[in-house]
Amino acid sequence: MSTITYREAMRQALRDALTRDERVFLIGEDVGRYGGCYAVSLGLLEEFGPERIRDAPLSESGFVGAGIGAALGGLRPIVEIMTVNFSLLALDQIVNNAATLLYMSGGQFNVPLVIRMTTGAGRQLAAQHSHSLEGWYAHVPGLRILAPATVDDARGMLWPSLEDPDPVLIFEHGGLYSSEGALTGTDGVDITSAAVRRPGNDVTIVSYGGTLRIALSAAEQLRGAGVDAEVIDLRCLRPLDTATILASVAHTHRAVVVDEGWRTGGLSAEVAARITEEAFYDLDAPVARVCSAEVPMPYAKHLEDAALPQPERVVAAVRQMGG
């Protein structure tokens, strides 16, 4: 095992994919000479050249469209969008083209495209660079939505995504890039199922991406109070691994969903609904949700912290369940 940063794990994954398959290339704003907005692709231009590490103009619709066309032409593009907020400029390409072409062609045209983008807040980048919109994309049939929360998943999810014949969107939380962890392996990981990151018996805390660390911190605080929390990392937001969630709730009988997206119409609502629909009689208390405040993300640090899910809010939600 080696200890590396999340950023380094992503870079290793990119280097591995580019080495394995000559059809793979990376395209996006500042991915080449600048090394990526978050330094994930630093050094890859010098290693693989400008044909495979392509700096794109400031046009998300243009270079995402180019990625879709390249995928239809037999290549395996990795498109990097600087932040999820900017992906809205390519929403037509992602939702109306990449996600629908297989169905609209009667199964004739797959789109083996991977789109990576940064999501999440906590870095004082204000409202146009800080929202968590992955729940929007998880609403769309035809897309697979991934949210690696650990070094192992950051390293291992890219290659299986490139092997998928259909579009895969990978959401990397900006607050994780400098985090460190033990890399236990370099083989591809499962991109279809959730993972139990901490076993427990008293309550299920459902998290993903940047909220995993919040959930684990809350679980530690609860342990000190004699509450044994089980923490689930969804990992794949579409399709959801409902079976793992329900199996956990069946033995804990309580659930809290932590989501950095907004509460109204968000991913937390979908998870809570599935638990209620399929495990109602296992519940000893209503499903609770801890989400971001229903405001554009503030710039001021104290306001940003107040708007985001925090471990203390998760602990409070568990305590309100009683039992």
**DSSP E strand stretches across 174-254:** 180-183, 195-198, 203-207, 229-233, 236-238
Q: What are phi and psi of 33, to 5 degrees?
A: -60, -35
Domain ranges of the chain: 2-183, 195-319
3-class state of residue 79 by DSSP: strand
Predicted TM-score of the model (pTM): 0.97
61-70, 121-130, 208-217: least confidently modelled range: 121-130
Catalytic choice (60, 172, 230, 270): 60
Q: How distant is the alpha carbon of residue 240 from its chain centre?
A: 12
Look at strands 180-183 and 2-5 and give their pairing: antiparallel
The overall average pLDDT reported for the chain is 97
Query: For domain 2-183, is the CATH number 3.50.50.60?
Result: no
pLDDT of residue 1: 72
Query: Measuring CA to CA, how many Å separate 174 from each of 45, 119, 232?
Result: 22, 6, 20
Q: Among the options 129, 131, 173, 253, which is catalytic? A: 129
CATH dotted code for 195-319: 3.40.50.920
Reply yes or no on whether 180 is catalytic: no
Question: What number of other Cβ atoms are within 10 A of residue 124's Cβ?
Answer: 14
Q: pLDDT tens, 250-267?
A: 999 999 999 999 999 999
Interval 267-305: pLDDT, tens: 999 999 999 999 999 999 999 999 999 999 999 999 999
